[in-house]
Amino acid sequence: MRLIFFALVAILIMIGGGAYYMSLQDGNGEIAITPTPTANDPTVPDASTSTVEPTPTDVPVSVGATHVSPESLASILSNPTYATLRLENYGFADFLVAQSNGTELFYLQGNGNIYSKGDASFNAISIRGMGVLGEMLVRGGATFNDGLAITQGTLSLDGDLSFSGPHTISGSGSLTINPTGNINFQSPSYYINESGKMVVAEIVAPKLSYSGDITIDANSPERTTTVTVQNSDPLQSANLSIEGDVIVNGGTVTFASSETIDAKTADTLKFTSDGNLAMVLGDAAGNKKVYIYDSTGTNDVFSVDSFGNVFADGNLNIAGSFTAATTIIASLSVTGDSTFGGNITVAGTATVSTLAAGTT
């Protein structure tokens, strides 16, 4: 309360414009000085008024009515044996100082600066310029119209931090948010935990990148899960473009009409279709072929060109019938019956075990 009282006294001093009213209260009593208008020069002490040395008493003691200069007033109230007020000039006009036993506790400059060595309690503080606070405890609300700058120390909040309207948290360096527990987004269901795991409902970003391997872990202990790439627009589709290899570890590639490429069985690749299985070559001149290579990957043991010609390095075993318009065979072995509707030309030797009756 003493600091509030001193502030009120200082305001009265600056409003008075040369006439000073001071009421000083300490544990021993009160000293009062009241103003009386005068035509004297305020910078020249009144010789007819003697200097009164204030003495603490149980009741207010009047030291007289006078108009004094700051120097004379400082002389009157400079006794350090009890709480005093001292008006001095430290480069700013009207510098009001409160001290106790010679120790400065509070001062107020004519330009409005206030300093307090101890604690101060106010119902409300309004700061229009820059305020420098060593320590401040706010039990009610606090409003900073021109911003709040903390150059040293820590800002601690025992409550919520809320914004009204869109605002920005910005700075010239890095920002670390390090709570004990999760950082939640809107609800506890969406968060970042202390291990860096992020759980959100949806991520909208033009690019996902990382300098190493990336794993999509659609884990569930109860069922088989699916990773879906889709376009939410029902009239559009989402393509998947892969620059490198596609590795399927023992699974099945299923297409739109249930056609599958099955790699579940080791060393076996199975193509399944409810309809036809087509291979389309790139020309109609017989130059392009469908090849089957041996394990070297360079020796084609079987091929079919775009004319339909078949080239095979091995034997051709046909369990059923074989019908061909024109066939050139290096070696032909038939275990069953053979029927030739046209002519047969043999460049080498033809060996027939038995000829049917009526044949030549």
pLDDT of 63 strictly over 60: no
- Per-residue pLDDT reduced to its tens digit, 209-232: 999 999 999 999 999 999 999 999
Write the single-letter amino acid at 95: F
Question: Would you state the pLDDT for residue 184?
Answer: 92
Give residues with Cβ within 8 angstroms of 339, minimum separation 6. none
Separation of alpha carbons 292 and 309, rounded Å: 14
Residues whose CB is less than 8 angstroms from the CB of residue 215 and which lie 6 or more positions away in sequence, other chains included: none
- Stretch among 66-70, 297-301, 349-353 having the lowest mean pLDDT: 66-70
pLDDT digits (tens, 9 = 90+) for 200-210: 998 899 999 99
Give the Cα separation of 134 and 116 in Å (integer).
Answer: 10
Give Cα 11 distance to the centre of its chain.
Answer: 49
Domain extent listing, the chain: 2-116, 247-275, 279-334
- Mean pLDDT score of the chain: 73
The answer to whether 67 touches 18, Cβ cutoff 8 Å, is yes
What pLDDT, in 10s, does the model give residues 261-309? 998 888 888 999 988 888 888 888 888 999 999 999 889 999 998 888 8
Dist CA 352 CA 349 (whole Å) = 10
For residue 26, pLDDT over 70 is answered with: no
**Can you tell me whether residue 298 is helix, strand or coil?**
coil
